[in-house]
Structure 1
Amino acid sequence: MSGGVDSSVSAILLQQQGYNVQGVYMRNWDTADERGVCTSEEDYRDVQSVCKALDIPCRRIDFTKQYWNQVFQKTIDDYELGITPNPDVMCNREIKFGALLENCMANTRAGAGQEVWFATGHYARIQRADGAVKLLRGVDRTKDQSYYLSSVDERAYSRVMFPLGHLPKTAVKGLALEHGLESIVKKPESMGICFVGKRTHFADFLSQYINAQPGPAVDPNGKVIGQHRGLFAYTIGQGAHIHHGTDRWFVAGKVTKTNSLICVPGTNHPLLFADRVNARQWIWINGEPLGLSKPGDTLELDGQIRYRQSPLKCTVEKMSDGTFAVQFHTPIRGIAPGQNVVVWDGDWCLGGGVIDNVDNNKDASNEVLT
């Protein structure tokens, strides 16, 4: 339980279905936000309030060390390399459905004839059929979170339930109000890095952990048009905040060996679009599909490179080095190395990988982009 409406309603639904519900709160971060408020303590008080109202036990587990070592430090390492990681995907694999799931399974006592299950407030569904445990999209496509769950393998999902997967967000809020949880419903939705929260000035937050190295901001031909504050502070596709001429400049690439930030004029510049990525560290939730058994094999699927993006048709190809290439049928704006590309067969989430490189719409004259 996080102290938010989704996990609170999940507990309510499970209790209504006759389960012996126990609440667990996970503390992963121990510093205050920009207001000087420790949001972790605020959230835990909300969890305790909900558990008291439902008359269920509640305990708190501290994973700040594990989160730092397994998620946050790796996130910082990636930013220092000039790539843009997705710590939420990593957190689900390493912490929520890793360390926390293992802890709950090992330390939860079940009554005679009872089994221990692990439930969260994610908008996704689990399908169990023919010996397989499949991750499916949530029914509410505007809230579907299967993208963030794409790197958790089938073994972890074998004892997992998602009580909200079949509900729209509006119904979840309605249930919360019916049970007197007005204050929980009014809370803003969690945003930003998993457990770190939303930071008003994210680059400033990262600069506390990264040694910023300013460098040249250049156009696609290598002409210096300004200075950047450090490659970690910029994401592909976003505004570069470079003042040069009358154009508005956007980030199209990063060159770590020269510490250069590649910028292009205009939000729809061709270099901001790409249709093919290569991904490493690929995880197939239910094992590698039979259609991709050898290098050169291809499979037609739906793919996304970010949360809430509309799924796009794509072709996945197995490469000789064990990575997978994803060719989208439609170019996508602002693909950033380090992000996750995830694929589905209909509603069935098959898995995904970390984007290693991107094929931009560039010609041979644009040597600076390499």
Structure 2
Amino acid sequence: MLGSLWHGLKLRLTTQRRLPQKGDRVVMAMSGGVDSSVSAALLKQQGYKVEGFYMKNWDTRDERGVCPSEQDWHDVQQVCDKLDIPCTQVDFVKDYWHQVFQDTLDAYSAGLTPNPDVLCNQHIKFGSLLDKIPSDAWLATGHYCRTDGYGRLLRGKEPAKDQSYYLSTVPWTALQRTLFPLGDIPSKQHVKQMAHDMGFTQVAAKRESYGICFVGQHRKFADFLGQYIDQPAGQAVNLENGQVIGEHKGLFGYTIGQAAHIHHGPHKWFVADKDLETNRLLCVPGSTHPTLFHQACVARDWTWIHTYQPTDLDVWAQVRYRQHPLKARLTVDQDGRYRVTFKEPIRAMAKGQQVVVWDKDWCLGGGIIDDIIPATPPLA
């Protein structure tokens, strides 16, 4: 698909990245979870000089946050002690607040659906953390993805756990210095079994975390955001006829395509749009309503991992991490924004989401959805 482009890219690179060697220093970004713990152990087995870095991104003194960072830091120390490697806690609380959390709040307040994990990888893990690492050392993370000799970002071996989506804004210069020990591991269950075999029973038994850690396992994300975003409740209306069908609790707490949890009549209602000017939640009956399907999206703040700027490509694309990759065409609009047109209409695209494109397993980059184009002709 991108054969000629890749050929030209290799000519420009002239040489492969420096490949890791036994005895090289590797800084392992550790979270206290099973993935980073097993990664650190694998790196040590392979002969690297490994040290653990734990990133403190949230101030636990904020009574509104419940991130179990002290327990995570304790688990990191236990794993590092067992591996006989040094570990260090680094404070990125201010960086995270200003470069990730505040932008996330602003986006939700504006009716968008941002992805804070993409921002965290771009600005904190592969930004602030990488800046603290000596230039002759490698950074390693527990992401399920791979790189090759040229620093290309590739999908992980297990499609269901591939995390290259979250790294789509990380520049090639950072990927050249990064190792992904879990990229070739066949399954998450295999990683957990490895953790048990290595004696990491505590981290192997921990629940897998999803999203922002300080929201907590037993709190609704909308309830958490409500402590920071001051938006009033308002009317929920039927998009088809404008009839009021209930009340929403604040537009920031709803995402396009999700169940609206409005009890009115025989239908189950789903979010189709949000009108910030009138503070109304626009809903449609049924999860397959034609309004929920879109053909294309236009993205801003586009990042090409290798800095080249192709203008017309057949790609595989995703607008959500868990979404199955779909065939699409990538073009450039007259205003310079990238347009991703899907071969088949897809359900529930939302402004603010990250759209990411691949050539087969090679992650090329992505951008933030700025506009969405309905399916044409409309689905019957």
Q: TM-score, normalised by structure 1?
A: 0.89
Closer, same or farther: CA 38–349 of 1 in aligned 2, 3 Å: closer
Supply the AA of the counterpart residue of 1:283: T
Asked if 2 retains the 8 angstrom alpha-carbon contact of 1:91 and 1:194, the reply is: no
Percent identity between the aligned chains? 57
Asked if 2 retains the 8 angstrom alpha-carbon contact of 1:29 and 1:196, the reply is: no
1:79 partnered with 2:108: yes
- Describe the superposition over 1:170-216 as per-residue Cα deviations: whole angstroms up to 9, x where unpaired: 32222211111111111011112266554522111101000022222
2:132 maps to which residue? 103
SS where residue 155 of structure 1 aligns?
helix
Asked if 1 retains the 8 angstrom alpha-carbon contact of 2:37 and 2:79, the reply is: yes
For residues 283 and 225 of structure 2, what CA distance do their matches in structure 1 show?
Answer: 22
Shift of 1:328: 0.6
1:109 maps to which residue? none
2:147 maps to which residue? 126
Where do 1:242-321 residues align within 5 Å? 242-290=262-310, 292=311, 298-321=312-335
Asked if 1 retains the 8 angstrom alpha-carbon contact of 2:66 and 2:214, the reply is: no
1:58 partnered with 2:87: yes
For residues 199 and 270 of structure 1, what CA distance do their matches in structure 2 show?
Answer: 34
2:9 maps to which residue? none
2:172 maps to which residue? 154
Please, which runs of 5 or more residues in structure 2 have no aligned partner? 1-29
Supply the AA of the counterpart residue of 1:98: G
1:164 maps to which residue? 182
For residues 196 and 56 of structure 1, what CA distance do their matches in structure 2 show?
Answer: 31
Closer, same or farther: CA 158–41 of 1 in aligned 2, 3 Å: same
- Describe the superposition over 1:221-253 as per-residue Cα deviations: whole angstroms up to 9, x where unpaired: 322222212110101111111122111110001
Asked if 2 retains the 8 angstrom alpha-carbon contact of 1:33 and 1:39, the reply is: no
2:24 maps to which residue? none
Shift of 1:308: 2.2
- Describe the superposition over 1:88-133 as per-residue Cα deviations: whole angstroms up to 9, x where unpaired: 0011001010001111237xxxxxxxx310001100001123xxx2
Asked if 2 retains the 8 angstrom alpha-carbon contact of 1:88 and 1:194, the reply is: no
SS where residue 133 of structure 2 aligns?
helix
2:204 maps to which residue? 185
Q: TM-score, normalised by structure 2?
A: 0.87
Number of residues paired by the alignment?
A: 347
- Describe the superposition over 1:124-170 as per-residue Cα deviations: whole angstroms up to 9, x where unpaired: 001123xxx20000001111000000011111112111011011223
SS where residue 239 of structure 1 aligns?
coil
For residues 38 and 217 of structure 1, what CA distance do their matches in structure 2 show?
Answer: 33
Closer, same or farther: CA 276–319 of 1 in aligned 2, 3 Å: same
For residues 346 and 249 of structure 1, what CA distance do their matches in structure 2 show?
Answer: 36
For residues 199 and 28 of structure 1, what CA distance do their matches in structure 2 show?
Answer: 20
For residues 239 and 16 of structure 1, what CA distance do their matches in structure 2 show?
Answer: 47
Closer, same or farther: CA 274–241 of 1 in aligned 2, 3 Å: same
> Which of residues 51, 61, 66 in structure 2 aligns to 1:22?
51
Moved over 6 A (4+): 32-36
Closer, same or farther: CA 247–280 of 1 in aligned 2, 3 Å: same
SS where residue 353 of structure 1 aligns?
strand
Which stretch has the larger CA shift, 329-338 or 117-126? 329-338
- Describe the superposition over 1:298-330 as per-residue Cα deviations: whole angstroms up to 9, x where unpaired: 211100111121100000111121211111112
- Describe the superposition over 1:272-317 as per-residue Cα deviations: whole angstroms up to 9, x where unpaired: 1112111111101012344x1xxxxx21110011112110000011
For residues 268 and 337 of structure 1, what CA distance do their matches in structure 2 show?
Answer: 19
Supply the AA of the counterpart residue of 1:286: H
SS where residue 93 of structure 1 aligns?
helix
Supply the AA of the counterpart residue of 1:243: H
> Which of residues 18, 41, 45 in structure 1 aligns to 2:70?
41
Shift of 1:360: 2.5
2:16 maps to which residue? none
> Which of residues 161, 179, 200 in structure 2 aligns to 1:143?
161
Asked if 2 retains the 8 angstrom alpha-carbon contact of 1:122 and 1:162, the reply is: yes
2:137 maps to which residue? 116
Asked if 1 retains the 8 angstrom alpha-carbon contact of 2:65 and 2:214, the reply is: no
Please, which runs of 5 or more residues in structure 1 have no aligned partner? 107-114, 293-297, 365-370
